[in-house]
């Protein structure tokens, strides 16, 4: 226990103090700035947290560099955006019936009727309180579950099992993402193939580079990811804006009447609804690839089902807003459970946490992080310590700090942002495109990065227009190097046995599970249209 406390103290100290013992305000300010920007981004229709994280990461790396000292400020800013954007998404949904994301649609069911009844400010207060409660509960689950799960995985799984577990995770994400599990799996494999371009672990020289020497070290990671996620979305936005240019809809300022206070008596009344929805969101968030939409749907459905007056849902009651916001906010912290314990991203926000970690410093996410190595000071060797574990507890400290800022100033800032709904896409999209191209050029360097950005933007655009989820593609692209490492390592350790994975019962179980998940998910998708 003393060893755990010592690592926790070191993690907290790294956030607030420099190596010289001076107070370090930079990580604190970066968390605050990220939270404020995240709330503003979430309140702007058409933007979301992962979108802002994708734009911010190359700029942050350009500003802070890639040293170990840069990791915490960059992570603090990204964590702030992740938490703030979830809260801010309630603003357009409640005030203008304009959900920026699918899960925000459920907030409109009761949030916008409250606005029509003159209770827009109260609806925003309910949304903020519920969202921060859900986020806090989810973070507590992360702090407890991630270390325990990581220790279990590290003690049980070897290279074959870890490789099979990645295959299982990709199959699961393909099954739950998009309308076709098999398409999702094919897209995931396509992402893995793109990631194999460049140098090999065997040192036999570059592969699949088509004679382009600049690709000898592989595709620029940031350019590829930002191309699929941002440029593909920009292309969609430009096309949609061109089609809908004739339809000009002006947002009307919401009217405020009656009592809009939200005291402790009402908060206590909502706490059971918030708690149930937060637990649902936490459970959904801990599963890779499912996302906030299902959490919001189940949270709202559970609140309605257990309510004494279910007929009032959809007419403008605080319980409906609270159930939805608590559930979708609880996903954010829980989504980092597979990231911290397995190194597997659960959603797009987690993708950029991993991308930041792999681009900056020497920290690596995964089960090896939570090795509680005894801290020793040895002469001529310095302090022997698991630095990854210190960084992990520093990340937890940044998340607590973001929650404190969210509790104190987030709600005040949230209620100022109704004006952002009026920003036209004709201004927003070109700005986003320019910032992305500039950031990629500054980070990856050269025009090859811009070419990769645009080509992968077309990939993202095509996948969206084909109604295929891009999440398996991104996850496959990120996990492919790690899967290759596990498969090659296991093959070498077995003495060149091609069937080494089949000799591990746990690995065989994971592989069979992957096949069964895809088979049953594909059957379920085929049966769904006939039952409606």
Partners of 382 in the β-ladder: 378
- Say how far residue 430 (Cα) sits from the centre of its chain: 25
Residue 251 forms part of a structural domain: no
Question: What value does the mean pLDDT of the chain take?
Answer: 80
Q: How far apart are CA 306 and CA 152, in angstroms?
A: 36
Token pair for residue 151?
Answer: 């220790």
Residue 248 forms part of a structural domain: no
Position 420 pLDDT exceeds 80: no
Note the pLDDT of residue 526: 62
Give the model confidence (pLDDT) of 299-310 as tens digits: 888 888 888 888
Q: How far apart are CA 301 and CA 304, in angstroms?
A: 5
User: At CA 103, angle to CA 101 and CA 106, rounded to 5?
Assistant: 115
Give the model confidence (pLDDT) of 222-266 as tens digits: 788 878 877 887 888 777 777 766 555 454 555 666 677 788 888
Task: Output the pTM of the full model.
Answer: 0.78
171 Ramachandran zone, left/alpha/beta (phi>0; psi -120 to 50): alpha
Residue 258 forms part of a structural domain: no
Residue 25 forms part of a structural domain: yes
Rounded average pLDDT over 512-523: 84
Residue 354 forms part of a structural domain: yes
CA atoms within 13 A on the CB side of 188: 28
Could you tell me if 495 and 152 are in contact, meaning their C-beta atoms sit under 8 angstroms apart? Answer: no
Note the pLDDT of residue 531: 39
Residue 481 forms part of a structural domain: yes
Q: CA nearest 106: which of 93, 124, 115, 117?
A: 93
Note the pLDDT of residue 53: 86
Position 155 pLDDT exceeds 50: yes
Residue 488 forms part of a structural domain: yes
Note the pLDDT of residue 378: 44
Note the pLDDT of residue 55: 81
Structural domains in the chain (count): 1
Residue 54's domain spans which residues?
2-241+264-526
Q: Which long-range contacts (CB under 8 A, 24 or more apart) does 174-177 make?
A: 174/289, 174/472, 174/518, 174/521, 175/517, 175/518, 175/521, 176/287, 176/289, 176/290, 176/521, 177/289, 177/291, 177/469, 177/471, 177/472
SS3 377: strand
Residue 249 forms part of a structural domain: no
More confident residue, 323 or 338: 323
């Amino acid at each position: 226990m003393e060893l755990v406390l010592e690592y926790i103290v070191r993690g907290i100290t790294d956030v607030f103090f420099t190596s010289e013992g001076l107070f370090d305000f930079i990580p604190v300010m970066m968390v605050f700035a990220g939270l404020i920007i995240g709330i503003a981004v979430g309140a702007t229709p058409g933007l979301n947290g992962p979108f802002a994280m994708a734009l911010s990461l190359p700029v942050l790396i350009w500003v802070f560099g890639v040293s170990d000292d840069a990791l915490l400020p960059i992570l603090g800013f990204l964590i702030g955006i992740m938490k703030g954007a979830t809260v801010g998404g309630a603003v357009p949904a409640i005030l203008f019936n304009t959900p920026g994301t699918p899960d925000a649609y459920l907030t409109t069911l009761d949030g916008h009727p409250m606005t029509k009844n003159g209770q827009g400010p109260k609806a925003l207060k309910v949304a903020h309180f519920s969202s921060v409660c859900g986020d806090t509960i989810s973070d507590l689950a992360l702090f407890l579950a991630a270390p325990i799960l990581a220790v279990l995985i590290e003690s049980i799984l070897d290279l074959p099992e870890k490789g099979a577990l990645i295959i299982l995770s990709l199959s699961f994400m393909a099954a739950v993402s998009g309308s076709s599990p098999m398409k999702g799996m094919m897209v995931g494999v396509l992402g893995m193939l793109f990631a194999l371009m460049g140098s090999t672990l065997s040192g036999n020289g570059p592969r699949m580079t088509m004679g382009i020497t600049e690709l000898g070290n592989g595709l620029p990671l940031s350019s590829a990811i930002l191309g699929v996620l941002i440029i593909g979305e920009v292309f969609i936005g430009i096309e949609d804006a061109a089609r809908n240019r004739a339809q000009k809809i002006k947002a009307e300022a919401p009217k405020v009447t009656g009592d809009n206070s939200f005291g402790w008596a009402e908060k206590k009344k909502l706490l059971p609804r918030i708690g149930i929805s937060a637990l649902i969101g936490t459970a959904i968030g801990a599963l890779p690839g499912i996302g906030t939409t299902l959490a919001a749907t189940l949270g709202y459905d559970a609140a309605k089902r257990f309510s004494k007056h279910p007929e009032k849902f959809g007419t403008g009651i605080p319980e409906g807003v609270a159930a939805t916001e608590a559930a979708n906010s609880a996903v954010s912290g829980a989504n980092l459970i597979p990231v911290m314990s397995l190194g597997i991203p659960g959603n797009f926000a987690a993708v950029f946490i991993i991308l930041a970690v792999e681009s900056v410093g020497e920290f690596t996410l995964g089960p090896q992080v939570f090795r509680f190595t005894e801290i020793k000071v040895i002469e001529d060797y310095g302090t022997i310590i698991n630095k990854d574990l210190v960084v992990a507890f520093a990340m937890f400290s940044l998340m607590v700090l973001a929650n404190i800022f969210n509790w104190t100033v987030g709600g005040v800032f949230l209620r100022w942002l109704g004006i952002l709904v009026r920003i036209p896409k004709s201004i927003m999209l070109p700005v986003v495109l320019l910032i992305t191209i500039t950031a990629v050029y500054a980070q990856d360097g050269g025009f090859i990065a811009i070419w990769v950005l645009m080509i992968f933007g077309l990939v993202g655009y095509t996948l969206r227009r084909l109604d295929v989820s891009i999440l398996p593609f991104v996850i496959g692209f990120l996990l492919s190097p790690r899967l290759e490492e596990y498969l090659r390592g296991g093959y070498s350790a077995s003495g060149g046995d091609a069937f080494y994975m089949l000799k591990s019962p746990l690995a065989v179980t994971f592989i069979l599970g992957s096949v069964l998940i895809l088979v049953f998910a594909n059957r379920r998708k085929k049966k769904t249209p006939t039952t409606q």
